[in-house]
Amino acid sequence: MGSCSHSLPSFSKVLKEIKSKIRRTKSNTLNRSLPDELCHRISLTDIKAATNNFHKNKIIANGDTGFIYGGKINGGFYAIKRLIPTSDSLLPLVELRCGAEILCQLRHPNILSLIGFCDEKKEMIHVYEYVNNGSLHDNLHSQNYDPIPWKRRLEICIGVARALHYLHTGAKFILIHRDVSSKNILLDDQWTSKLCNFGFCKRGPLSLSRGTVSIEVESDITYTFACLAPEVARTSRVSTKSDVFSFGVVLFEVLCRRRVFDAKLQMEQRFLYTWARKCIENGTIYSIIDPYLKGKISPQCLKKFLEIAYSCVQYEENKRPTMGEVEATLELALELQKQEEYEMESINPQGEFICEEA
């Protein structure tokens, strides 16, 4: 098994590199607006009316690159993200161009919809569909949320798998998200998962291309280093299999309800995926599963879930499955859960599953 201590560049070094690149094109980026044919332009007057002139009482969340307001536009309630570039962080410029241009062309039930944009008077504002159940990360780790039932967790993961499968094969061009993490998975009032934050998304060749496509990037910066595929840090190249790796980390996070990185733990336990891999190999994985789920996961479902999660975080790219295979396996795991629950209820309505460790 490979070492968990990958040689990752410091965040300050990577940020310095991307700032340098952005400064060279800053004026062009600011002066260009998104194509009207791709996305709906919303006037600054309407934005200010919806947010009461960006009043603090309208703020519903603090994003990494600006404030997110809640407000009504043309009778609909939306999330209005006001991007704020500063001298210390020009990342919003990347998000404005890359993320918005890509999102304008995507339509999928498991991808957060970009409704429109505003770029008047040097403002950079995105208007998204509003989802009110927070992020998957908050639901897993915040004390303000109730534990998510197992079948619902499976359905959330299946939704994200479908979104990634669509990005890799269903759009005109191959798209690599590059920042798959529980923080970038939002949940609506029906618990439908919505993949978001396309600021670092990379476009590849036409999706008809065969095999794994590897793309060199200027920097391997992502918001979630603990989900970063090892080859990305090593070679500064990304592929669809990089997204598969990151999604595998999220699968373990969902199962164990543990943070993907915890510096307070012993060295071998700090990265969740390396610890989970070792526990699977040692037959002790059941000891680190979310206590809330114990007795609630059918043995066959758990077996399938662990098989696919383990295969996703293989260190060699060619040993990882495609997102289509991941999606199909998770759907099978859900069906096994439903089937075994039905059989269990017919025998003993109060019974619990017993999952023995290998």
Listing DSSP states for 111-152 in one string gives B--EEEEE-GGG--EEEEE---S-BHHHHHH-TTSPPPPHHH
Task: Give pLDDT, residue 3.
Answer: 44
Strand pairing partners for 118? 125
Task: Give pLDDT, residue 351.
Answer: 66
Reduced to 3 states (helix: H, G, I; strand: E, B; else coil), residue 237 is: strand
Q: Please say whether the beta carbons of 331 and 151 come within 8 A.
A: no
Residue whose pair of structure tokens reads 């919806």 in the numeric block: 50
Q: Which CATH class is domain 33-129?
A: alpha beta
Given the residues 36, 64, 119, 179, select the one marked as catalytic: 179
Sign of CA dihedral 101, 105, 110, 115: positive
Q: Give ranges for CATH 3.30.200.20 in the chain.
A: 33-129
Task: Give pLDDT, residue 21.
Answer: 45
| Triad 233, 239, 242: Cα angle to 5° | 55
Task: Give pLDDT, residue 37.
Answer: 52
Select from 272, 243, 267 the least CA-distant residue to 255: 272
Mean pLDDT per block of 10 residues along the chain (358 residues) reads: 46 48 40 57 95 95 82 94 66 62 88 90 89 96 94 98 96 90 96 92 74 59 75 88 97 97 92 96 96 95 98 96 98 97 76 63
Task: Give pLDDT, residue 214.
Answer: 64
Task: Give pLDDT, residue 66.
Answer: 77
Burial class (CB in 10 A: 0-12, 13-18, 19+), 3: exposed
Per residue in 290-331, pLDDT tens? 999 999 999 999 999 999 999 999 999 999 999 999 999 999
Task: Give pLDDT, residue 237.
Answer: 87
Q: Which CATH class is domain 136-345?
A: mainly alpha
Q: Give ranges for CATH 1.10.510.10 in the chain.
A: 136-345
- The predicted model scores a pTM of 0.84
- Catalytic-residue membership of 64: no
Select from 110, 264, 266, 256 the least CA-distant residue to 177: 110
